[in-house]
């Protein structure tokens, strides 16, 4: 997300938090409705002061919930963006070579779509003690043979990752679903 968008979200959250805190303080009787300068809040908060019983409890409850949500949004926005995880390929006295897990996902997706009958692939890669665990969620042409796609897809993904990165691949899980979105005929041969 861009810095501009984050700043807008932070500004809106701070303003909403300030408004809910003022409403909470006025409804609890801690502050008078003219808490803001120039009488800005006196007319706007008159309904809070005049509320009674269940209405006042509802105002306090909704304001408290909104305040907690805004604090949560501010906490999320205050945390720095997550960097993609990196895998160590090689380390020597001259330096280290790493690759992002996202790059491994892109590599497996690129290799997988070259398999006949495969339309689209989304990959998830995780590191495990025995090697990389790769999951490929695949959309295949309606009528194409899963029994032909699966071994070729598994073999290509595993060998490409191992050959191009030197990282061992422990397992390649494949989830295939048929997709008839673009074809009108079955791909039966």
The 10s digit of each residue's pLDDT in 124-144 is 999 888 899 999 999 998 888
CA distances from residue 97 to 87, 100, 105, 129, 165 in whole angstroms, order as listed: 9, 10, 18, 19, 10
Average pLDDT rounded to a whole number, residues 15-31:
83
Q: What is the pTM of this model?
A: 0.55
- Give the pLDDT confidence score for residue 38 in this predicted structure: 58
Q: In the chain, which residues fall in CATH 3.30.70.1350?
A: 86-179
Contact 135, 123 (CB under 8 A): yes
**pLDDT at position 121 over 90:** yes
- Residue that wins the pLDDT comparison between 187 and 166: 166
Residues 89 and 104: their CA atoms lie apart, in Å, by: 12
Of the candidate CATH numbers 3.30.70.1350, 3.40.50.300, 3.10.580.10, 3.30.420.10, the domain formed by 86-179 belongs to 3.30.70.1350
Q: Give the count of alpha carbons within 13 A of 53, CB side only.
A: 1
């Amino acid at each position: 997300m861009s810095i501009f968008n984050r700043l807008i979200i932070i500004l809106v959250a701070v303003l909403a938090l300030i408004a809910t805190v003022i409403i909470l303080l006025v409804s609890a009787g801690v502050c008078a409705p003219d808490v803001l300068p120039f009488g800005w809040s006196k007319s706007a908060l008159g309904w809070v002061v005049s509320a009674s019983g269940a209405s006042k409890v509802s105002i306090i409850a909704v304001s408290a919930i909104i305040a907690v949500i805004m604090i949560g949004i501010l906490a999320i926005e205050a945390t720095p963006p997550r960097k993609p995880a990196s895998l160590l390929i090689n380390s020597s006295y001259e330096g280290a070579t790493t690759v992002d897990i996202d790059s491994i996902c892109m590599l497996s997706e690129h290799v997988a779509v070259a398999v006949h009958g495969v339309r689209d692939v989304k990959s998830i890669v995780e590191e495990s003690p025995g090697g990389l665990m790769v999951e490929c969620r695949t959309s295949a042409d309606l009528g194409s043979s899963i029994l032909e796609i699966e071994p070729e897809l598994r073999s290509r993904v595993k060998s490409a990752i191992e050959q191009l990165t030197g990282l061992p691949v422990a397992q390649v899980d494949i989830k295939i679903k048929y997709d008839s979105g673009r074809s009108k005929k079955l791909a039966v041969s």
